[in-house]
Amino acid sequence: MNSPHQFEDRRMNPRTFIPLQHSATFRCCARALVAISVLMAGLGCSEKAHPPAGQIKVATAGIYAGTLDDRGNYAVIGSMHHGISYWRLSDEERLFNWSHKAATDTILAAADTSPDGNWALTADTNTLVLWDTKTGEASRYWQAPGEISSVQLSSGGNKALLGLADHTAVIFDVRRGGIIHTFNHKDRVHSVSLDDKGLIAATGSADYTAVTWDLQNNKHFVRMRHNDEVQLVVLSPDGSLVLSVSQYDKAIIWRSRDGQVVGEIPLKAGRVKRGLSFTSARFSPDNQFLLAGQTDQTISLWHLNDLKNPTIWKLGQRRLWKPAGAAVIDVAFSEEQGKFYAIASNGLVFKLTQKK
């Protein structure tokens, strides 16, 4: 498919892969941390919040963007002062330091790992880099004229779904370059999601809609209308369910192909009006649970059968003598039952355990 977007393919030069002892420094714009951390509110429920079971320091200060792999084993971290790093969480080991351009600042807009765990994709506002997570080497580097707001990588690291500021989302061929499909909105695309098989896409936009797309036929399934900008969309691994979140409206779960609403996460209206928002979420592999992170350092685990009485964790402050807000950037189910991980914007990855 022809597209007005023109992408440039550049093989990474040897300077771009930065060994652990030569970490590149990059600074980030404070606007992102402000946007995700300003609004503080609690959950609309009376459940007691549990503390995290442990924490891993992955940045000396804040995190601009980050992602956990599907099994909660690895994390990509875009920090404020120490570039991009790839971590193995089981032994708290930083495996690689990465940068888009050697000896230059990088503002990381988004990151994702492929469902098979073999690839990672990092993006600043205008460039993409595909990384081999086994070797740490950069495989592809692409430059785009548009501003990137969100990304998700397909299994095998062959394609990526990009949310752009020019009112579109695109399926981009990460290996060869070029746009495969373009999906149109009427305003900026804030959030994107792919199912594990790459058959369904979901997009959330400032035009107040969340849309699911049939990638085989390049047509939309459902256009779900909210009463404010859609900040987050998340597909279940099999693509059958969607969570769509509007910051000042509601958070609903619905079927991707027909739009039937499965349930609405019960939040108090007054707190929604003050800006309570889910900043990250993930469905369990069996579609029984939803794990969600919020702007107020809260993680909640919801059973989709009734969406009542969630398990709640309250993440700790980085410095007790100087408390500061931190939004939850990503969450993941661990391979071990009853264990979870969460990345917070204060530079910590938290370990969570469900109490019996």
The predicted-structure confidence for 267-303, as pLDDT tens digits, reads as follows 765 455 555 678 999 999 999 999 999 888 899 999 9
Structural domain tally of the chain?
Answer: 1
Q: Would you state the structure tokens that stand for residue 339, as one six-digit string?
A: 């264990």
pLDDT at 25 over 60: no
C-alpha 204/C-alpha 256 separation (Å) is 13
Does 158 reside within a domain?
yes
Q: Which residues contact 67 (CB under 8 A, 6 or more apart)?
A: 75, 76, 110, 111, 112, 113, 120, 329, 330, 343
Tell me the C-alpha distance between 44 and 276, whole Å: 10
SS3 30: helix
Range among 21-25, 248-252, 284-288, 322-326 rated most confident = 284-288
Residue 211 sits in a domain of what CATH number? 2.130.10.10
Rg for the chain, CA atoms, rounded: 19
Assess if residue 2 is contained within a domain: no
- pLDDT score, position 145: 52
55-64, 160-169, 319-328: lowest mean pLDDT where?
319-328
pLDDT at 146: 78
Phi, psi for residue 157 in degrees, rounded to 5: 65, 30
| CA angle 108–112–113, rounded 5-degree value | 140
Give the model's confidence band at 144: pLDDT under 50 very low, under 70 low, under 90 confident, else very high. Answer: confident
- Cα(171)–Cα(178) distance, rounded to whole angstroms? 9
What pLDDT shows up at residue 102? 58
User: Which residue, chain included where needed, has tokens 């009853």?
Assistant: 338
pLDDT over threshold 70, residue 182: yes
Distance CA 343, CA 332 (A): 9
- pLDDT at residue number 56: 95
The answer to whether residue 3 sits within a structural domain is no
Nearest to 257 by CA among 210, 213, 208, 216: 213
Q: What is the mean pLDDT of residues 147-173?
A: 94
- Tokens representing 215 are 């990638």
Domain housing 31: 8-353
Please report whether residue 305 resides in a domain: yes
Residue 114 pairs in a beta bridge with none
What is residue 15's DSSP assignment? T
In a domain, 315, yes or no: yes
Q: What angle do CA 353, 261, 41 make, to 5 degrees?
A: 50
- DSSP SS3 for 306: coil
Give the least confident one: 19-23, 110-114, 116-120: 19-23
Cα angle 38, 43, 44 (rounded to 5 degrees) comes to: 130
* Dihedral (Cα; 52, 54, 60, 66), 10-degree rounding: -70
Taking the complete model, does pTM exceed 0.95, yes or no? no
Q: What are the distances in angstroms from CA 299 to CA 62, 66, 108, 166?
A: 19, 16, 24, 32
Question: Alpha-carbon distance 243 to 199, whole Å?
Answer: 17
1 inside domain: no
Contact indicator for 185, 220 with CB cutoff of 8 Å: no
- Average pLDDT, rounded, for the chain: 83
**pLDDT at res. 105:** 54
Q: Is residue 75 part of a domain?
A: yes
Give the pLDDT mean for 101-116.
77
The two tokens of residue 228 are: 């404010």
Residue 287: inside a domain: yes
